[in-house]
């Protein structure tokens, strides 16, 4: 059993009437962890408590066994934080800024310089690191924010919406960087994001909180498991395919250009193949359906067993 | 498709019908900076995603359509009229700007009501309430916007933009800051409005979401229109890029050998993922997969292609 890196028990935080967190119990193990939740679900509040910036109303939180209220200095030495908002000074270069942040973390001057060079190279900032940050693109600024979070060699990295404002290629690069940071440095990364697609892409574990409670906590693979449903997409003739399969006694249901079939045995694959071949239909895709993270946020009625529910209806 | 920005945009046909939005050789420059460069296209009812890297000119384009900016050259038409300094056209335009320019001291309902009155609606109260409901902001409508989360502010802006039920809705990164549930709801809302015959143009960086809302796209690259139309059709025009299809089967090697005999196939590779096929004739290949594997006596369990998605099409258009 791996040690819980981040732990909370009965953690509550109230702002007047608003209950941002309500008796939250968590135990986070090493990995790349996606933190999702509705707006106002308490994600930012949780991050701020873990950083020791907010005091809980009740309950407790700890990082690597250190209490978030009493041992904030210890926590800050092992935690790197990349805030969501624009927080960089515009009139200094990245090297100067990150070195400064390293010095604040207590690194000696020489070590601070060396670490800065190292992390800036890791995040992919080269010639431009001496230029003033004010002139940087959004993607470059995000890299500086990540670099300053890494410079003191933390064991836990908290990233608040790291791809915010990035364009598709910038996003792709940042996601790749997060993945490499987690695996190469072997540190735990918590990524707060609204984009389930990117969480699916980089994270190994999902924490979903809703209205201050834990909604779900499980490995990503748990949510994206294959379901016993085969989706067959054809360019045309989905209705004819359904009819042909029904004639063979196969339960199938049309969903736009797709035909959903319950996989009851391996022979089913051959029946689908033969029906498509007989009708000479253009086969676009044939894949076992997978669960999606999104189903967590659909209506409760739709979340239960997405695959099975889909084909149990009577064949049309 | 390598040639697009140099020799003109590859335009997949946009369905006939009255064009709600039309641009003819439009350019806009700021001093020496060319933000939009010789762009022409037309849009009818439906949802269109406006894509492009940061700095490609998307916001400038939306601002010209909203009437904030006059084009430096060319002609911008919204419902047949130039929107610049024409309040008559504003009655038919709703804009959700990217910047969070909302008055923090107003409540959500007040903000939307002001928009309704600005548009000269007779029943401003009713329209405002209605718009608030459409974006699902009832619970927070009496709180000052200053206390809103980002996703709530975003929805207040959307409510303000559609309070007068405009024909044309322009949205600059509307999903920004919204949580998963709000994103799904907003995508559904855009879909409904499109079905009701509205013309909707929205910019976004999240391609998987654009793909969910619709297939019509406009792609800007460095101020130019790199492509427009249905992205599947745009993909089909990229004849220099073979289509890649991966098939998993009971016997990949046997299937590979069988497929290689077909002239529609010009390369087959065995990978850990299965049998990866390259073809220039996608339609023909799709029709032969099932028959060929049956003849070869191979059971196919999975067929998919990685390079038909909007993400790939976008990557091909932007990275050249």
Pairwise CB contact (< 8 Å): B205 & A39: no
pTM: 0.82
Q: Which residues of A are less than 8 Å from B51 in CB distance?
A: 168
Buried b / exposed e across A231-254, counting CB within 10 Å, b at 16+?
Answer: bbbbeebbebbbbbbeeeebbbbb
Pairwise CB contact (< 8 Å): A168 & B177: no
By Cβ distance, the residue of A165, A166, A168 closest to B314 is A168
Q: Identify the CA nearest to A284 among candidates B125, B136, B235.
A: B235
Catalogue all structural domains in chain B, each as residue range(s) with its CATH number: 4-231 (3.40.50.300), 241-318 (3.30.70.100)
Nearest CA in chain B to A293: B180
Examine the pLDDT at B189 and tell me if it is beyond 50: yes
By Cβ distance, the residue of A38, A167, A281 closest to B179 is A38
Q: How many CA atoms lie within 13 A of A118 on its CB side?
A: 14
Low-confidence ranges of chain A (pLDDT < 50): 1-2, 300-316
Domain over A225-311 is classified CATH 3.40.50.11740: no
Nearest CA in chain B to A138: B54
By Cβ distance, the residue of B182, B287, B302 closest to A39 is B182
Pairwise CB contact (< 8 Å): B294 & A277: yes
- Give B203's strand partners: B50, B172
By Cβ distance, the residue of B53, B286, B314 closest to A283 is B286
B240's tokens: 């220099």
Superfamily of domain A6-222: P-loop containing nucleotide triphosphate hydrolases (3.40.50.300)
Determine the pLDDT at residue B320: 61
The ipTM (two decimal places) reads 0.75
Q: How many Cβ atoms from other residues are within 10 Å of residue B50's Cβ?
A: 25
- Give A62's strand partners: A7, A67
Q: Which residues of A are less than 8 Å from B318 in CB distance?
A: 168-169
pLDDT digit string (tens) for A80-97? Answer: 999 988 889 999 999 999
Alpha carbons A208 and A217: distance in angstroms, whole number = 6
Domain boundaries, chain A: 6-222, 225-311
Examine the pLDDT at B14 and tell me if it is beyond 50: no
Q: What is the mean pLDDT of residues B19-39?
A: 94
Determine the pLDDT at residue B10: 46
Examine the pLDDT at B4 and tell me if it is beyond 80: no
Q: What is the mean pLDDT of residues B158-174?
A: 95
Residues of A contacting chain B (CB within 8 angstroms): 36-41, 137-139, 164-171, 194-197, 235, 266, 269-270, 273-274, 276-277, 280-288, 293-294, 296-298
Pairwise CB contact (< 8 Å): B286 & A282: yes
Distance from CA of B79 to the nearest CA of A (A): 31
Contact B214, B184 (CB under 8 A): no
Q: Cβ of B184 under 8 Å from any chain A Cβ?
A: yes
Q: Is A160 exposed, middle or buried (0-12, 13-18, 19+ CB in 10 A)?
A: buried
**What's the distance, Cα to Cα, between the start and end of chain B in Å?**
10
Determine the pLDDT at residue B171: 96
Alpha carbons A110 and A95: distance in angstroms, whole number = 13
Q: Which residues of B are less than 8 Å from A229 in CB distance?
A: none
Q: Which residues of A are less than 8 Å from B208 in CB distance?
A: 197
By Cβ distance, the residue of A137, A269, A285 closest to B54 is A137
Q: How confident is the model at residue B17 (pLDDT cuts 50, 70, 90)?
A: low
Q: How many Cβ atoms from other residues are within 10 Å of residue B205's Cβ?
A: 25
Q: How confident is the model at residue B7 (pLDDT cuts 50, 70, 90)?
A: very low
Q: Cβ of B142 under 8 Å from any chain A Cβ?
A: no
Determine the pLDDT at residue A315: 35
By Cβ distance, the residue of A39, A235, A282 closest to B152 is A39
Q: Identify the CA nearest to A129 among candidates A150, A158, A98.
A: A98
Q: Which residue has the tokens 């003819």?
A: B24
Pairwise CB contact (< 8 Å): B293 & A273: yes
pLDDT digit string (tens) for B63-89? Answer: 999 999 999 999 999 999 999 989 889
Nearest CA in chain A to B314: A168
Q: Which residue has the tokens 């940061």?
A: B54
Sign of torsion over alpha carbons A116, A119, A122, A124 = negative
Q: How confident is the model at residue B306 (pLDDT cuts 50, 70, 90)?
A: confident
Mean pLDDT rounded to a whole number for chain B: 89
Distance from CA of A211 to the nearest CA of B (A): 13
Cα torsion at A132, A122, B317, B247 (round to 10°)? -170
């Amino acid at each position: 059993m791996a040690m819980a890196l981040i732990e909370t028990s009965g953690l509550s935080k109230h702002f007047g009437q608003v209950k941002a967190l309500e008796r939250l119990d968590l135990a986070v193990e090493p990995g790349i962890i996606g933190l999702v939740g509705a707006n106002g679900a308490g994600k930012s509040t949780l991050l701020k408590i873990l950083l020791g910036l907010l005091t809980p109303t009740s309950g407790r939180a700890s990082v690597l066994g250190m209490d978030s209220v009493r041992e904030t200095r210890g926590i800050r030495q092992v935690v790197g934080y990349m805030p969501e908002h624009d927080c960089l000074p515009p009139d200094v270069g990245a090297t100067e800024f990150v070195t400064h942040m390293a010095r604040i973390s207590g690194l000696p001057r020489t070590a601070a310089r060396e670490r800065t060079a190292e992390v800036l190279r890791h995040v992919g900032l080269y010639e431009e690191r001496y230029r003033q940050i004010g002139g940087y693109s959004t993607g470059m600024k995000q890299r500086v924010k990540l670099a300053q979070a890494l410079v003191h060699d933390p064991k836990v990295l908290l990233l608040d919406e790291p791809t915010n404002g990035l364009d598709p290629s910038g996003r792709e690069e940042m996601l790749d960087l997060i993945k490499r940071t987690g695996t190469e440095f072997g540190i735990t990364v918590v990524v707060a994001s609204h984009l389930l697609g990117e969480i699916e892409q980089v994270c190994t574990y999902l924490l979903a909180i809703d209205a201050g409670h834990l909604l779900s906590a499980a490995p990503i693979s748990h949510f994206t498991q294959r379901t016993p449903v085969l989706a067959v997409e054809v360019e045309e003739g989905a209705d004819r395919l359904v009819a042909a399969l029904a004639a063979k006694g196969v339960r199938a249901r049309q969903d736009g250009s797709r035909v959903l079939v319950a996989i009851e045995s391996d022979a089913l694959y051959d029946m689908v193949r033969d029906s498509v071949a007989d009708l000479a239909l253009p086969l676009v895709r044939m894949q076992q359906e997978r669960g999606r993270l999104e189903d967590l946020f659909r209506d409760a009625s739709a979340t239960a067993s997405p695959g099975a529910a889909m084909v149990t209806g009577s064949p049309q | 498709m390598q040639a697009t920005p140099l020799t003109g945009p590859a335009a997949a046909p946009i369905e006939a019908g009255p064009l709600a939005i039309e641009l003819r050789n439009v350019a806009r420059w700021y001093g020496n900076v060319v933000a939009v460069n010789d762009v022409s296209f037309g849009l009818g009812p439906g949802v269109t995603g406006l894509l492009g890297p940061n700095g490609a000119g998307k916001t400038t384009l939306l601002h010209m359509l909203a009437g904030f900016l006059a084009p430096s050259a060319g002609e911008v038409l919204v419902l047949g009229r130039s929107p610049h300094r024409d309040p008559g056209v504003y009655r038919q335009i709703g804009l959700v700007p990217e910047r969070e320019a909302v008055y923090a001291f107003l409540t959500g309902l007040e903000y939307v009501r002001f928009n309704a009155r600005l548009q000269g609606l007779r029943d401003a109260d009713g329209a405002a309430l209605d718009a608030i409901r459409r974006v699902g902001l009832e619970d927070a409508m009496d709180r000052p916007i200053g206390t809103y989360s980002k996703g709530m502010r975003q929805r207040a802006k959307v409510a303000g933009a559609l309070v007068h039920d405009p024909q044309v809705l322009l949205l600059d990164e509307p999903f920004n800051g919204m949580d998963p549930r709000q994103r799904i709801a907003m995508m559904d809302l855009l879909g409904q409005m499109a079905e009701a015959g509205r013309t909707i143009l929205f910019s976004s960086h999240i391609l998987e979401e654009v793909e969910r809302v619709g297939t019509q796209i406009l792609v800007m690259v460095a101020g130019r229109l790199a492509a427009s139309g249905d992205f599947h059709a745009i993909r089909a025009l990229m004849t220099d890029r073979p289509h890649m299809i991966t098939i998993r089967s009971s016997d990949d090697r046997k299937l590979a050998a069988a497929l290689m005999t077909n002239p529609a196939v010009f390369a087959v590779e065995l990978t850990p993922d299965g049998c990866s096929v390259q073809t220039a004739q996608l339609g023909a290949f799709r029709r032969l997969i099932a028959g060929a594997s049956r003849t070869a006596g191979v059971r196919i369990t999975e067929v998919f292609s990685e390079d038909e998605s909007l993400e790939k099409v976008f990557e091909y258009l932007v990275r050249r």
